[in-house]
Amino acid sequence: MATDFDRMAREEAPDAVIITSLQGVVQHWSPGAQVMFGFTSVEAIGHSLQDLIVPADQVEEQSQIRQLIATSGSSSHESLRHKKDRSLMYVDVTGKAVRNAQGFCEFILFCKKDITLLKVHRDAKSLDARFGSLLESTPDGIVLVNAIGRIVLANTEAERLFGYRAKELCGELIECLLPPRFPDVHTRHSSHYMHLPRSRAMGAELELFGLRKDGTEFPVEISLSRLETSEGMMVMSAIRDGSARKKIELALQEKNAELENANLAKDNFLAGMSHELRTPLNAIIGFTGTLLMRLPGPLTVDQDKQLNTIQISARHLLSLINGLLDLAQIESGKVELASETIHCQHILSELAETLGPLATCKGLAFRCEVPTAELTVQTDGRALCQILINLINNAIKFTETGEVVISLSARTTGQQHWIDFCVVDSGVGIRPAEQAKLFQAFSQIDAGSTRRFEGTGLGLYLSQKLTGLLGGELRVASRFGIGSTFTLSLQAA
């Protein structure tokens, strides 16, 4: 029996043989076309070839090719096409017009050949000649990927990172370097990235893991950049093994957790030591006061002097301990605030009566200026008093001559109503460069101030912390050698 070579050519040819109408509707779909593109003849015949396999950005080109074939009779070109699963491929397309008896183009015969790997290897040879030496000189793994996600070029470092032999990656899909849980994400990301005219820094946006040839995974840092070449747009990936960085990050996290736990334990310890530390000091101060009042009997001059020294030192030590304990309570989050209506004139007058004598003893003028209209705030009275006491004590401490003035005023900013407590002094003042240190813990203005004025440097730090807890603001305005103004602002009730 004679061999039917015509049937053999139609059915066994590996290339796709497709016949469409002049308008592009499929009339014939060969077995080779089914293998190449994934559509059966039933799925393809009667449908637009454009809708089946032509990418959106190639539609206009496809229309022009049909018109060219209809007029000139034939055409040959390379182009991008996609399969049923939407994966892209490079094809070599030959088209020929099939004319009727009147000479008009009635059908178009297409023969399409998959040249994806051929083009990849052709491009790889060209790119290697131009960029190979440069890529080999870089310390990172470098992978060049074309528009359809195929690896065109990989340097030796990239092959070493992923465990492949030389040139073994050429032509493979980039997804072969990613664990199975990542390819879909990577495919969506890279398809969008191909059209974005920007670079992505090493380690930015995505946290990825690489997949070695032996199936093991490792963390990677990837930097992407677009590369225009005569072979088309490429994406260059600079890849770095992130294992060392991950180990360092994990060690730092563990160390930070240890430090945080230690710091919390310290804060809890100090916050719980309030009674134990204050009680003996209060006893020392109390009994010393009793002796100084000569209730048990008369004192000699030396005894009086020594007891005064004990009392002053104990009070100073109690002040330091109170500051440290208050700080510990704030840092440990154990400060409990009560909201109550505070009459501002009343609280300021009480403080003036209590602290005014300290200024008078130093020979300073002391004034309290309050408006006649009643002003109130809804806040924690104890915390408010502590802030104001710190501010007034500082003003008296750092003022040698002149005056200290405490005042009260109301103002409106936008829709918010504020009450301002101001403490003004004519003291040493603060240089602009040193004002940033004011609200730092354990900080005083300079070494000279530290020697001259006692204290832990916690007062303003604690005041600012408490102000934050009250939802207020604490500001300073100062001129060196002239004086300072500290303003505590709280929202009006």
* Per-residue model confidence (pLDDT) at position 302: 83
Span 384-397, average pLDDT: 90
CATH number of 251's domain = 1.10.287.130
Cα 121 versus chain centre, distance = 41
Co-location of 367 and 471 in the same domain: yes
**Cα–Cα separations (whole angstroms), residue 417 to 196, 388, 489:** 49, 20, 10
Burial class (CB in 10 A: 0-12, 13-18, 19+), 221: buried
- Output the pTM of the full model: 0.49
Residue where one domain finishes, among candidates 241, 260, 276: 241
Co-location of 256 and 201 in the same domain: no
* Per-residue model confidence (pLDDT) at position 455: 52
pLDDT at 447 over 50: no
Task: Report the percent of the chain where pLDDT is more than 90.
Answer: 39
Rounded Cα distance between 120 and 132, Å, is: 15
Angle at Cα 53 formed by Cα 51 and Cα 59, nearest 5°? Answer: 65
Angle at Cα 350 formed by Cα 347 and Cα 353, nearest 5°? Answer: 150
Co-location of 354 and 484 in the same domain: yes
CATH number of 182's domain = 3.30.450.20
CB 120 within 8 Å of CB 232: no
| Average pLDDT over all residues of the chain | 83
Co-location of 10 and 105 in the same domain: yes
Co-location of 84 and 160 in the same domain: no
- Of 282 and 165, more confident: 165
Co-location of 354 and 284 in the same domain: no
Find all residues with CB under 8 Å of 31, minimum gap 6, and list them.
Answer: 10, 11, 12
Span 112-141, average pLDDT: 91
Residue where one domain finishes, among candidates 331, 357, 378: 331
Co-location of 316 and 357 in the same domain: no
| pLDDT band, very low/low/confident/very high, at 448 (cuts 50, 70, 90) | very low
> Could you tell me where the DSSP H helices lie in 234-343?
243-272, 274-292, 301-331
Lowest mean pLDDT among 7-16, 86-95, 116-125: 7-16
Residue 379, H or E segment: strand 376-379
Rounded Cα distance between 414 and 253, Å, is: 44
pLDDT at 266 over 80: no
**How many distinct structural domains can be found in the chain?**
4
| pLDDT band, very low/low/confident/very high, at 444 (cuts 50, 70, 90) | low
Residue 44, H or E segment: helix 41-44
Rounded Cα distance between 186 and 176, Å, is: 11
Find all residues with CB under 8 Å of 144, minimum gap 6, and list them.
Answer: 127, 131, 151, 152, 153, 154, 227, 234, 235, 236, 237
Co-location of 323 and 399 in the same domain: no
In the chain, count of helices (H) and strands (E)? 15, 17
Co-location of 406 and 433 in the same domain: yes
pLDDT at 425 over 90: yes
Co-location of 129 and 41 in the same domain: no
Co-location of 174 and 296 in the same domain: no
Co-location of 51 and 136 in the same domain: no
Lowest mean pLDDT among 86-90, 275-279, 354-358: 275-279
* Per-residue model confidence (pLDDT) at position 256: 80
Span 272-293, average pLDDT: 72
In which domain, by residue range, is 296 found? 247-331
